Structure 1
C-alpha cells in the first residue's frame, strides 16, 4: 500500500510478485547450476520450467513500479492471496476512481490483437478477458461483505512488453491497457469514491480476512530472485559479447581463408 502508512498494512507491505517469485524460485531450486564453461559462454542459468514464472514476475514488478507513481490518495496491494487455494490477484488498486483489479500479462516481443470478446497473442486465443472479469466479480463480492458497502470493481488486463497491440474493438467490461498507459488511464477516470470511502475500503482490503485468508508467513526470498535476475542478465550480456566477437572476427577469417586459397592456387 502506498502513500498512507497509517492504514492497516498486513497486506499493504506484501512485495509485488510474491506468489510468482516463490513458485519461480521453488522450480529453479531443482535446476543444476551452470558449470564454468556454461557460465563462460553465457548459458542462461534459468531452468526451462522456471522461465514462465520468471517472465511473469518481471511483468508484475514492472506494473508495480508504474503504480508507485499514482500519487496521494491511491492505495495499491500486490500479489493478494484470495480464497483457500493458491490463487492471488496481481494488483488491487483503490483510489478516487474506485477499485480495480489488475491482471498482468507479460507478452514480451509478441503481437496482441484485441476485440470486443477476444484477446489473441500471436494469433492464439487466450482466457485473459474472462479471467480478469471473474477476478473483479470475486473481489467485488468479498470487499462488499468486508466493507459493508457496495464495492464495484473494474477489471484491467495490463499488457507488458508486447511488440505491438492491434485494437479492433475494446471490450465493454474489461479495460485492456499497455503498461505505459495504466497510470494515466487510472488518474483520468471519473471520481466515484470520497476520500473517506477510499480509506475505509483500503483499510478493509489490507486485512487477509477480507479475502477469506488467515494471516500467514511466506518464506519468499526476494533477494534470491534479484540475484537470479542479475545472473540471467550477465549471461545475456556475455552471449551478446560472443556474437559481437564472432562478427568482428569474420573479416579476418575471410581474409585469412582468401590468402590460403590464393596460396594453394599458386603452389599448384
Structure 2
C-alpha cells in the first residue's frame, strides 16, 4: 500500500532506490564479465553477514578488487581524498566504506589462502553526467562503468594458480558467513 501511495504522489521509495542500484550493478557486472578473456574471474553480489553484500569481486593477475557500485543517474559527482559529493551535496563516506570493505575481503581470503591477498577498493559510478576526481592521497580507484576495462591489463600480483585458489575460496558462501 505504501508503495502505491508513494507512486501516486511521485515520491521515491526504498524499493526505487534498490531497483536503481541493482540496474547500476548489472551494468557494471556486464563490463566486468568482459574481462574474463583477459584471465580475470568475477563474482557478483557476494553476501556477507548482516544482510550486506559486496557488489562485485574481481580476481585476476592484477590482484583482487572489491568493487562498490554507486548509481547516480544524470548527476555530477566530485571525489576528494575521503569524501564524495553528488551535485555539490552533503559529503558521503563512499571512499571510507570502500576501504573498509576491501580490508574485510582481504581478511576472509587470507584466512583460507596460504599467501598474502592484497585487495584494492574500487568505486564505480554509473550514469553520472560528470565525474571529477580531485584526490591527492586517495587509495581507492575511481571509475565510471565503461572505464573498468582499465583493470584488464594489470598483472604481476597473483599467479594463475593463486587466482584460481582465491576464486575458489571467494565462491564459497561459508567463507563469508562470519565476515
CA-atom RMSD in angstroms: 2.3
The counterpart of 2:61, out of the listed 96, 100, 121, is 96
Q: Deviations over 1:185-208 (max 9, x none)?
A: 211323211101101110111011
Distance 1:144 1:80, change over 3 A: same
Does 1:117 pair with 2:82?
yes
Larger radius of gyration: 1
Q: In structure 2, what is the equivalent of residue 133 of structure 1?
A: 99
Deviation of 1:117 (Å): 2.4
* Unaligned stretches of 5+ residues in structure 2: none
TM-score by length of 2: 0.89
Query: What does 1:1-268 correspond to in 2, within 5 Å?
Result: 31-32=3-4, 48-72=13-37, 73-83=39-49, 85-124=50-89, 125-169=91-135, 171-183=137-149, 185-212=150-177
Cα distance, 1:46 vs structure 2: 9.5
Q: Is 2:82–2:93's contact at 8 Å kept on the other side of the alignment?
A: no
Shift in Å, 1:173: 1.3
Contact 2:80 2:138 in 1 (8 A): no
State the match for 1:231 in structure 2: none
The whole-number CA distance in structure 2 between the counterparts of 1:112 and 1:98 is: 27
Q: 2: distance between equivalents of 1:172 and 1:209?
A: 32
Q: Compare the two structures and name the one with the higher helix fraction.
A: 1
User: Quick one: distance in 1 between partners of 2:11 and 2:83?
Assistant: 32
Alignment TM-score, normalising by the size of structure 1? 0.60
Deviation at 1:47, TM superposition (A): 6.3
Equivalent position of 1:260 in the other structure: none
Structure 2 SS opposite 1:199: helix
Count of aligned positions: 175
Q: Secondary structure at the match of 1:50?
A: helix
Q: 3-state DSSP class of the match of 1:109?
A: coil
**Ranges of 4+ aligned residues in structure 1 off by more than 6 Å:** 43-47
Superposed CA deviations along residues 94-144 of structure 1, whole A, max 9, x for unmatched, are 011010100000011111112222221111211100110000000000110
Asked if structure 2 preserves the Cα contact closer than 8 Å seen for 1:100 and 1:136, the reply is yes
SS at match of 2:135: coil
Of Structure 1 and Structure 2, the greater strand share is in 2
Per-residue deviation, 1:91? 0.3
Asked if the contact 2:84/2:94 (under 8 Å) is kept, the reply is yes
